[in-house]
Amino acid sequence: MGVVNVTPDSFSDGGRWAEADAAVRHGLALLEQGADLLDIGGESTRPGATRPLLAEELDRVVPVIRDLTAAGATVSVDTMRAEVAEAALAAGATIVNDVSGGIADPRILDVAAAGGATYVAMHWRAHAAEMQRFAHYPRGVVVEVVDELRVRRDAALAAGVAPERLVLDPGLGFAKHAGQNWELLAGLPQLAALGHRVLVGGSRKTFLGRLLGEGDGLRPVPEREHATAALSLLLADADVWCVRVHDVRATCDALAVRGAWRAAQAGVPAAAQAGVPTDQEEQR
């Protein structure tokens, strides 16, 4: 899932694709690099971010979704608002990626169900401006996240979202400190045991920056891409349904190496693998 932030203030690339034409060009480039899905968002959910007005969010995402779906893209709308989800589905989106899991606006569940959309319910406790105040998990982060997502799962199913169209996301970085994110990643099998596909969005996030930083510092956001690609590989081995990334090419390259490695282990000749040259070609 390639990220298209149509925002002026997203943590990774805020402002680069804020204009509709630039966002569409970026989305098309991500498709060329290997994205299967494009996630279009008009509200930054970085820690401390303030919410845009409804009209602002609609103006940001609807034209981009319309143009990208017209170009053949499979599009997800990244929103917590029922009105935005409804307009996005009318514009051609087929996935609603709701970071609040229906808590911020419960009617979004009805919109997703009525539109026959795939619905992504992420673990969430509060809006960006205050979410890190809620990073307390007395019973353990994995247990509490799974329990809270079970409640969101039940709400989505009760609203009419088809079980095969429901996806769960552990919400890395949302009301979670660095160590808690790693615990959640190790606990993904417990989340998958709820019986639904899993999406993970760890791309360039602070827990990677903290891992790679020196002392108490953080590795700058643009310099976290190698770690993101490595994380994507590990998530592929964990059989997640989808990874949400900013740099599609880096993740696809890493997955191509993994695929070639596994094919070789299975005895598939290198020349039979797409994109892998024969010995003669290597010599040239």
**Which residues are catalytic, by number?**
205, 244
Distance CA 216, CA 39 (A): 32
201 closest CA partner among 219, 175, 174 = 174
162 closest CA partner among 108, 112, 102 = 112
Task: Please enumerate in sequence order all residues whose Cβ is within 8 A of that of 126, keeping only pairs 6 or more positions apart, or say none.
Answer: 133, 134, 175
Whether 40 and 93 have beta carbons less than 8 Å apart is answered as yes
120 closest CA partner among 110, 129, 109, 128 = 109
Joined tokens for residue 93: 């989106």
Task: Please enumerate in sequence order all residues whose Cβ is within 8 A of that of 179, keeping only pairs 6 or more positions apart, or say none.
Answer: none
